[in-house]
Structure 1
Amino acid sequence: MNFKIEKYLLRKAEELAFIKIKNDGEFKLEGYEIPKDGLDVPVKNEVLVKGIKEKTAQDNINTMSIADAMIYIMGIDSQFKYNDEYKKFLNALQNKVDFDAKSYMGYMSRKYFDIGEVTDSLIYLKAFITIYPEDLEGMYHYAIVCQELAKQYQKDSDNEGMNKFLLEALEKLEKVVELDENFALAYYHLGYHYYNQGQYVKSMYIWEEALKLGLEADLIAEVQDNIGKMDFKVQYEEGYSLVFQGKSEEGLEKLLPLEIEHSDWWNLLFMIGLAYKNMNEIEQAKKYFEKILLIKPHQVDTIVELGLCEASTFNMEKAIEYFETAAKIKEDPEILCNLGMAYLNNGELDDATYYIERAYELDPQDEITVSCMRELDKYR
């Protein structure tokens, strides 16, 4: 099983120490054969420290403390080199004593979650689904704890960490409904994931499925309220999908009515402008892009689109002005190529060469940049 968030857990391995148990040593577990070269087994540092303080280290390092630490390291690192051996150890332990690994991992996860140690809670759940990848409840609760950790990363202004944990939760929730298409709570949470990604049509469909499958009364009211408030966003998504499919007139039929109540929604204005540009109604397109700059003066994609509008009507001086403004905001190969080609079409070879070659320096593999370099070579 793949995990997107392991790098955020690896530091927890510092909380473990490793000791070697020998094949011919005193430590024995019925049903488990220690490898000939021995086995490095983990023990939590807190167990070692407690043993040292109480001068009972040997008593503290018992089978259960080793089993607990094995589960812990498996939850931290799914690729740890001894994981397969640790699984054999845990299986033998379950056969020998009254030890239920599933119940134990579930208990430990709840224990740590209740005291606010959410990362530790997740580690036990991650071990759970590593060992039992088809367990729906374990997978579901793992996803929910990932969502909780995403909130913590958001509070710490770590957007990368937040997004990684959200994507991890999304992936595992999708796995849950793949394994059980009647898991209503998974649909409920998935609706929020798709909504936050701007997939409004999919979000509405998923929430409607959750309602069909049955939720608690408070969740039903919440989902119904969400669906009721998102009609215009669904219409927006349907509209921009049509624009991207080259059906700009049909897209405008969806998008234009939304402008009445959402005239300051720059994304909507952008898509309307793009639709008009695709239809070669350049003056109309410019009006919408210019409206956006009144709301967001540094919206770089809009500035580029205005440059393209001017270039399409051979107003190269104005196009250059827009592209230069965009390039100052964001030094992007595509923007630099647009600027370079505008200079080239304006007969200014030196400036064209400078900007296109700069784009090539930034990304020599970019198809647009390579194409512009070929065009430039025709003039040199």
Structure 2
Amino acid sequence: MKFKIEKYLLKKTEELSFITIKHGGEFNLEGYTIPKGGLDVPIKNEVLVKGIKEKTAQDKINTMSIADAMIYIMGIDSQFKYNEEYRKFLDAFSKKVNINIKEYMGYMSKKYFDIGEITDSLIYLKAMISMYPNDIDGLYHYSIVCQELAKQYQKDMDKEAMNKFLLEALEKLEMVIQLDENFALAYYHLGYHYYNQGQYLKARVIWEEAQKLGLDADLMAEVQENIGKMDFKVQYEEGYNLVFQGKCEEGLEKLLPLEQDHPDWWNLLFMIGLAYKNMGEFEEAKKYFEKILITKPHQVDTMVELGLCEASMFNIDKAIEHFEQAAKIKEDPEILCNLGMAYLNKGDIDDAIYYIERAYELDPQDEITVACLRELDKYR
């Protein structure tokens, strides 16, 4: 099983020490033998320190403590070199002491969660789903704890980590509903993930499924309210999907009615402008793009679309003006190519060469840039 968040857990290895158990060492575990080269086994530092204080000999360290630390390191690092050997050890150990390892990991996760040690809680759950990848409850609770850690990273203003933990939660929740299509709470949480990603159609479908499967009264009311509030966003998504499919007139039928209640929603105005531009109605498209720049004067994509409208209307100087403004804000190969091609159409070969070659320097693999460079070569 792959994980997106391991790098944020690896620092927890600092809480472990390793001791070497020689081949032939006595664990008295039927069905398990220490490898010939011996085995490095982990122990939590707090346990080791306690043992030293109590003058406990190294070979007398509680086997349960070693088993616990093995689970811990497996939960931290899914690629740790001894994980497979530790699995064999844990299997033999669980049979000897008649302990259910999966239940133990669940117990330890809840214990740490209840005292606010959320990362430790996640580590035990991560170990669980590594060993039991089809355990539905384990995957679900792992997702919920990932969401809790995402909130912590949000408070810490660490957007990258927050997004990684949210994506991890999303991925594992999707695994839950693949394994159990009737898991209502997984649908409930998935709806929020899709909503926050701007996938409103998907969020509505998922929340409606959660309602069909049954939620408690409070969650049912919450979901119903969410669906009601997002109707206009669903309509917007339907509209822009139609625009991107080339069905611009149908897209406008969805988008234009939203403008009255949301006159300053720049994403909506952009999609309406894009639909008109794709239909060849450049003057109408310009009105919407220009309206966006009144409230968002540095919106680069809007500047580029305005430039493309002007270029399509053979207003090359105005097109160059918009492309240059965009390039000052964002030195992007596509913007530079548009600027270079505008200069080429104007007959200014030197500036065309400068901008298109600069685009090539930034990304020599970009197909648009390569095509522009070929076109430029015809005029050298």
Same fold by TM-score greater than 0.5: yes
Measured in 2, the distance between the counterparts of 1:135 and 1:347 equals 66
**C-alpha offsets along residues 275-326 of structure 1, whole Å, 9 cap, x if unaligned?**
0000000000000001111121111100110011111111111111111110
- The match for 1:187 is 187
Q: State whether residues 48 and 60 of structure 1, in contact with CA within 8 Å, keep that contact through their aligned partners in structure 2.
A: no
Structure 2 CA distance, aligned partners of 1:39 and 1:216? 50
Counterpart for residue 123 of structure 1: 123
Q: CA deviation at 1:117?
A: 1.2
Q: In the alignment, what sits opposite 1:167?
A: 167
Query: Structure 1's 113 and 57: CA in aligned 2 closer, same or farther, altered over 3 A?
Result: farther
Structural mapping, 1:245-324, within 5 Å: 245-324=245-324
* 1:317-346 Cα deviation digits (max 9, x unpaired): 111111111011111111111111111111
Counterparts of residues 1-380 of structure 1 (less than 5 Å): 1-58=1-58, 61-380=61-380
Identity %: 82
CA deviation after TM superposition for structure 1 residue 56, in Å:
2.2
1:142 aligned partner, one-letter code: Y
Give TM-score, length-normalised by structure 1: 0.98
Q: Deviations over 1:229-248 (max 9, x none)?
A: 11101100000000000000
For structure 1, the 5+ residue unaligned runs are: none
Distance 2:53 2:325 in 1: 67
TM-score when normalising by structure 2: 0.98
Determine the C-alpha separation between the residues in 1 that align with 2:26 and 2:94. Answer: 20
Shift of 1:47: 1.1
| Superimposed CA distance per residue, residues 118-172 of structure 1 (whole angstroms, 9 cap, x where no aligned partner) | 1111000000000011110000000000111111111111111111111110000
Q: SS in structure 2 opposite 1:269?
A: helix
SS of aligned partner of 2:41: strand
SS at match of 2:215: coil
- Report if aligned partners of 1:47, 1:60 keep a CA contact under 8 Å in 2: no
Question: Cα distance, 1:26 vs. partner?
Answer: 3.6
Q: RMSD of the alignment, in Å?
A: 1.1
Counterpart residue identity of residue 379, structure 2: Y
Distance 1:112 1:79 in 2: 24
Identify the range of structure 1 (209-218 vs 56-65) with the bigger mean alpha-carbon deviation. 56-65
Q: Tell me, in whole angstroms, the C-alpha distance in 1 between the residues paired with 2:77 and 2:59.
A: 27
Write the distance in 1 (CA, Å) between the matches of 2:86 and 2:131.
11
Query: Does the 8 Å CA contact 2:359/2:369 hold for their aligned counterparts?
Result: yes
Q: Secondary structure at the match of 1:364?
A: coil
Q: In structure 2, how many angstroms separate the alpha carbons of the residues matched to 1:23 and 1:211? A: 57
In 2, the alpha carbon distance for the partners of 1:15 and 1:220 equals 43
Query: Letter of the aligned partner of 2:88 in structure 1?
Result: K
State the alpha-carbon separation in 2 of the partners of residues 198 and 337 from structure 1: 30
Q: How far is 1:60 from its partner?
A: 6.8
Residue 73 of structure 1 aligns with an amino acid whose one-letter code is I
Deviation readout 1:213-238 (Å, 9 max, x if unpaired): 00011100100000011110110000
